[in-house]
Structure 1
């Protein structure tokens, strides 16, 4: 399939080699190599992104803004087709884009040390900070209600009301726990109505693999910009806290392995605030730890909702897979709340002493 698309971008394709690439779960990705250089080819998943042309438009707007206002920033700009289009379209296979492969760069899938968290948080903060002046109304919403916790909680309630009875009974303790934590939803609703919280260009998918690192493991830029759109900073910070803080992933079934690494938290705070402290309002800074609760809680109710209705969204590789995922996220939320006093002390040091936000 990928070989059929490449002639839309490249005049000479006889000596190209392709291989599947990366750990992303949404789009299909290949690395394309010839004698002189390499590329990344991606097929955009239209089950998730209904309007691939909106993604292309967003990247065009962001690239143009950065080129004008911050020309030194490494923006991985998509390659135009030979007929000057943003995307190559196949009636059989869908929408594709080609990106240059950045030489001597790499990404990682798991945070194992604070310096990695620092570099990633700094890059995500820098991306938002550099785009502070862009007109948000020029950007499309590529996934509607992506991090709308009010909607996700309503879907959770619907799943409880109409889900599979045996599963509802089995998940009773988890349902009760998450319903009792609905104050996290109320806080989100207050944030949406608080003018001190500003909509900004937000990545919305800040896992560590979405940062390019150089040969010295220093951050170069952020990648995988499909979900870049207007949003609140709690989405980016929250996703970093959710996916970096514990050494155990959301797939871990041994809940004893789930813990909060305070040195990783400090690195995230350092890195993100080194770029964003001057931009965030006081209310936003105080919501830094809440951001983690927000994202962990939302993922927990999404996993549990899917379990209750029969695993129709995430699927399941074994019996009770999504119930176990929900239990994993519940444990992570409990661990975060238990550490909140210690984390608050760390956060306050960096909020009020900006000179500490130097390289880790």
Structure 2
């Protein structure tokens, strides 16, 4: 399989080895290494079950890359490389879509955030990406996952699952359902945001987990990667996803909820890193909702996990019975912990 793919990207197959690479869950990724010690590459097969129109991703990356090369030529943009025919995707006989990316030498990524300094650098890199693209027309971007971070949609899917979902699972989830219903004001705030001109559509990454940042050997941020979800959006998507995935020392897979805590220093680091780049671009109203960003994203993920549980795990799947129910409980505990510190966090933002 790989020989034909490499050939279409202008590489001589017998001069390269291919091995699985990284820990991504969506696309399949391999590292393409030369036998003679020249430049390495990253080969990816795009998951067309998630990304229905892979050429839209290619178009977005081309537009973004052209803008950055023209206006910020020193920025490290790890965009896709062309095939021998000038396309940025190769489609095989099974209609599988492949792309080739440069491998950034002397770089590495992380699977978890271990220090506030790493959180600061990651937040700064995602904010820098949005900042450098502040002059880019967001209307040019294709929507690669429609309504990806639409909290109103996710709440409606949740209420539909309460009507049509598994009756036994609905009964067993009564306490969690009640708690999530009590947080519905977060949906109303999101709906106000969508209708408030003080909230600006920007170029937003939408998937700010730490593994989507490249670091150098001193843990200084180099750039952001995995740009498939780059779309027009609100800053709360990127900030909220960092809050959800950086603040607690454990992930959404943790079953011991006593280990779910909020690390104040990591919140401060995210705020400093993000606002270092976007302090003068965010409106006063947006800054007032900086803490809301964490509530927005944690709540949305809790809704999505519980909705899938009630719908018999048709979206995320489940590695064991009750997997998505556990994940939803995990995120609900995280939301409770986060809400308990909202006053402190607002004070931190006001001082910054």
Give the TM interval when normalised to the shorter protein: over 0.9
Displacement of 1:82:
1.1
Match of 1:167 in 2: 169
Q: What CA deviation, in whole Å up to 9, does each residue of 1:28-77 have, x standing for no partner?
A: 00000002110000000000001000000000000000011111111012
1:125-166 per-residue CA deviation (whole Å, 9 max, x = no partner) reads 000000001111111000000001101100000000010111
Matches within 5 A, 1:212-291: 212-291=214-293
Structure 1 unmatched runs, 5+: 351-360
Q: What is aligned with 2:61?
A: 59
Contact 2:2 2:13 (C-alpha < 8 Å) held by counterparts: no
Question: CA–CA distance in 1 between the matches of 2:285 and 2:20?
Answer: 44
1:343 to 325, 342, 345: 345
Alignment size in residue pairs: 350
Do structure 1's residue 7 and structure 2's residue 7 form an aligned pair? yes
Q: For residue 30 of structure 2, give the secondary structure of its aligned residue in structure 1.
A: strand
- Name 1:138's counterpart in structure 2: 140
Give the equivalent residue in structure 2 for 1:23: 23
1:93: Cα distance to partner? 5.2
SS of the residue 1:346 aligns to: helix
SS of the aligned residue for 2:206 comes to coil
How big is the shift at 1:297? 0.3
Question: Do the aligned residues in 1 keep the contact of 2:249 with 2:260 (CA within 8 Å)?
Answer: yes
Alpha-carbon distance in 2 for matches of 1:87, 1:290: 38
Structure 1 residue aligned with 2:110, among 108, 111, 128? 108
SS of residue matched to 2:14: coil
| 2:269 alignment partner, SS class | helix
> 2:192 maps to what in 1?
190
Residue number in structure 2 paired with 1:356: none
Equivalent residue for 1:358? Answer: none
For residue 68 of structure 1, what is the aligned residue in structure 2?
A: 70
| Farther-moved stretch of structure 1 (73-82 vs 232-241) | 73-82
Using the size of structure 2 for normalisation, the TM-score is: 0.98
Determine the structure 2 residue equivalent to 1:357.
none
State the match for 2:301 in structure 1.
299
Find the aligned partners of 1:2 and 1:194 in 2 and give their Cα distance. Answer: 49
Q: Counterpart of 1:14 in 2: which secondary structure?
A: helix
Deviation of 1:10 after TM superposition, in Å, equals: 2.4
Q: Could you say which residue in structure 1 is the equivalent of 2:90?
A: 88
Moved over 6 A (4+): none
**Aligned-pair CA distance for 1:13:** 1.6
